[in-house]
A and B are shown apart, each in its own frame.
Chain A
Amino acid sequence: MSGLSDAGKSALTAIVAAGAEECAAKLADFTHHPWSVESVTLSLDEAGPFADLMAGVAADTYGSAITFPGGSFLLLYSGKSGYLISSAFTRDFQDRVEGMSKREILALGEASNILINPLVGRLAKAWGASLIISSPKTAISSRRDHLTRSLESSKAGGNLAATFAVKLVSTQLFSECHLLLFLDAAMVEKIAKA
């Protein structure tokens, strides 16, 4: 991974932290409960800031994978958080969504798309070009499996330079969302200079 200067790390972290605050505000907007950013952790190490996420029992976790030119996102929701967030998101349409198969997966995919876009906007501004993200691919698996797949995919291009782990929490909705951001070398270099 890249040898980023301290100033570069600070610049990169400031952009992601500001974007994360806006993601929390978006989540609050469509779940009708306040959310906050509990932590923003940068890692330039291939192991990433995932030790806590990799540890523990292999419980079912919803994972939404999103790509964009220069990086990718993985959003993780525990089974309970996934249920609560998707229910809050579609609360005005419960009678309609109850008939949908895989309703949590469908709702969380769209929730991920909505909540991540403020951070994408921050990255785009620093990158100096517009960014359109892919449609989210959402599935249920263990956290370890979701992370392993995303890491393998990010490393496949040989350009993974930085990883962020952001934790968003809502004490009122009893929910949390782990947001992982994988950035390519070119993106990191450009943003760190922004």
Chain B
Amino acid sequence: MAKVLIVDDSPVTRMIIGEFLSMSGHEVAGEAENLAEAVAAYAQKKPDLVTLDLSMGQDDGFAVLKALRAQDPKAKVLIVSANSQSEIYDQLLKDGAAGFVTKPFTLADLLAAVLKVLPS
């Protein structure tokens, strides 16, 4: 089972993702709602996977993704966003995103995406 860091500025979405992950036996290693918190939590918790929103107050998901991948080039980041524009997904893939889940999502949607990123 994976240690997961949840990065989203919505407490409701952090709660939903956390509940789904916990129900499935994964460990919620921490939560963050902006870039600074995400970078600090990643360094401290060293998660197997990060779930990351795209629209977060001052910091967009691109900046957080780049910061996390700069911190750890092997960081596995799953984008969880309502945005489904293909150009944005293409750019996120180039920037190192490992996968995507579109909001709203079900337990099955989230777990399928986690399994795709962390097959083991």
Q: Which residues of A contact B (CB under 8 A)?
A: 26, 29-30, 89-90, 93, 96-97, 100, 103, 106-107, 109-110, 113-114, 116-118, 120-121, 124-125, 129-135
Partner among A107, A110, A132 whose Cβ is within 8 Å of the Cβ of B88? A132
B104 and A30 contact, CB distance less than 8 A: yes
Segment at the interface with A among B7-15, B43-51, B111-119: B7-15
A26-B104, A96-B15, A97-B15 are contacts. A132–B9 as well, Cβ < 8 Å? no
B15 and A93 contact, CB distance less than 8 A: yes
A30-B104, A113-B55 are contacts. A106–B85 as well, Cβ < 8 Å? no
Question: How many angstroms between the C-alpha atoms of A120 and B57 in the bound complex?
Answer: 17
Q: What's the nearest-Cβ distance from chain A to residue B53, in Å?
A: 9
A29-B104, A132-B54 are contacts. A97–B82 as well, Cβ < 8 Å? no
Partner among A90, A121, A125, A135 whose Cβ is within 8 Å of the Cβ of B55? A135
Chain A residues with CB under 8 Å of B87's CB are 124, 129-130
| CB-based A-B contact count at 8 angstroms | 68
Chain A residues with CB under 8 Å of B12's CB are 89-90, 97, 100, 103, 106-107, 109-110
B11 and A106 contact, CB distance less than 8 A: yes
Chain B residues with CB under 8 Å of A29's CB are 104
Within 8 A of A (CB), among B60-113: 60, 82-85, 87-88, 91, 103-104
A26-B104, A114-B104, A124-B85 are contacts. A93–B54 as well, Cβ < 8 Å? no
Q: What's the nearest-Cβ distance from chain B to residue A82, in Å?
A: 14
Chain A residues with CB under 8 Å of B83's CB are 117, 120-121, 132-133
Within 8 A of A (CB), among B1-32: 9-13, 15-16, 19
A114 and B103 contact, CB distance less than 8 A: yes
Interface size on B (CB < 8 Å)?
Answer: 22
B82 and A114 contact, CB distance less than 8 A: yes
B84 and A121 contact, CB distance less than 8 A: yes
Chain A residues with CB under 8 Å of B103's CB are 110, 113-114, 117
Chain A residues with CB under 8 Å of B60's CB are 132
Q: A117-B82, A132-B54, A134-B55 are in contact. List 6 more A-B contacts (CB 8 A).
A: A93-B15, A100-B15, A103-B12, A109-B10, A124-B87, A132-B55
Question: How many angstroms between the C-alpha atoms of A77 and B19 in the bound complex?
Answer: 27
B82 and A113 contact, CB distance less than 8 A: yes
Partner among A30, A116, A135 whose Cβ is within 8 Å of the Cβ of B9? A135
In the complex formed, the residue of A with least CB distance to B87 is A130
